[in-house]
Amino acid sequence: MYCTFVGNNLVTWRSKKQSVMARSSAEAEFRVEDLYYPHPLVQDILWASLHNVIEPILGHWPGNKLREKALCTVMQHVLNMLCCWIEDPNSEAFKLHIPRIIDYLWIAEDGMKMQGCNGSQLWDTCFAVQAFISTNLGEEYGLTLRKAHQFIKNSQVLEDCPGDLKFWYRHISKGGWPFSTADNGWTTSDCTAEALKAVLLLSKLLLETVGEPLDMGQLFDAVNVILSLQNEDGGFATYELTRSYRWVELINPAETFGDIVIDYPKSYMLLPGWHCRYVECTSSAIQALTSFKKLYPEHRRHEIENCISKAAMFIEDIQAPDGSWYGSWGVCFTYGGWFGIKGLIAAGNTYNNCPCIRKACDYLLSKELASGGWGESYLSCPNKVYTNLPGDKPHNCNTAWAMLALIDAGQVKLDTSGAI
């Protein structure tokens, strides 16, 4: 996952004076880097009003009665360990957090590290399985695939979140897969789709090689989750449907993250520089449903076909005029291009009949380096402009994504110049 440098280990600091100086210097250095999305003026006005006007009112009777009720409601929904500790250090809620601290917070050799999830195990395993099987050497790696198959099956979420889903603001999760392990519990559209693709591929191999396939009912549950996550515009977000208004992003207090207050599948140009287009989630959903339809053609056939059609139109709609797609979960335009092309092809389009695929191929070819590879800098993500790595160095990942996209599009058969 994404590890963040927090600061030097306290044990290594030799004196209080040195530690204060080092800390101030580190904070000043990283404060600028961490200011990814400066908050708008409306937040300055809002927070100042709350602090100087509303806070004094709520601190005295009768406002404190309303405040007490509001805080009780907030604490019923809280997931933050620090809030539970402030409320009651001896509470059961706080104690339940403690065993999971090491999942996301630890001391490394160069300081404290943190991550937003307990890993990426399921995601990595699914792509590894797909890679193994694509070589047609599955039987030679039977033991590896058997263990991976079992892990994927064990990682599927088998029940919805307990209680009233509407009250807890939760989407259905039965049948889905999370980013990491079943303990994570938060299913996502693309992880569910990639896991479904993997288990469907494994089901085509011999039982003696990869073990028992996933139960049919669990496959149907996975399809149900995917179908339930499609928004009205045809796109897929990550954890849930888009169910609020885009203006609430104006009160996003996180200066290190943008486009996080609601889960929405495409860009809303409410603030300068916003660019949130989940071509990846939508593409994965198309690919998974297409694979499923080939093996179970009669199961919810009309719903699946309609879903695929709408999702493909969404991918075409969010393509930039230059033929690119912005990748939100990888670096960046090569990653988005790979998913965009794969999704459109899975939906039944081809290089010959789809202008979007041709534009996407032309875009990727325009970014090929003189060395023959592709090398895209992480700066493409914040700047929203394709940026090469320093020195125009190629990178294996960007090159692989571009090559996979161009090969799947059939561009190599059409280009006689030997560009790829």
Active site residues: 190
CA-based Rg of the chain, rounded to a whole angstrom?
24
Distance CA 175, CA 162 (A): 15
- Expressed in percent and rounded to 5, the helix, strand and coil fractions of the chain are 55, 5, 40
Neighbours of 274 (CB within 10 A): 15
Buried-exposed string 199-235: b where 16+ CB fall within 10 A, e elsewhere: bbbbbebeeebbbebbeeebbebbbbbbeebbbebbb
Please check whether residue 265 is in contact with residue 314, taking contact to mean a CB–CB distance below 8 angstroms. Answer: yes
Distance CA 325, CA 319 (A): 5
Neighbours of 302 (CB within 10 A): 7
Three-state secondary-structure class, residue 339: helix
Pure H helices in 156-203? 189-202
Distance CA 240, CA 172 (A): 9
Q: How many angstroms from the chain centroid is the CA of residue 11?
A: 35
Q: Which of 37, 3, 10 is nearest to 26 (CA)?
A: 10
Secondary structure letter of residue 106 according to DSSP: E
- Which tokens in the block code for residue 23? 């800390």
- Partners of residue 106 on adjacent β-strands: 113
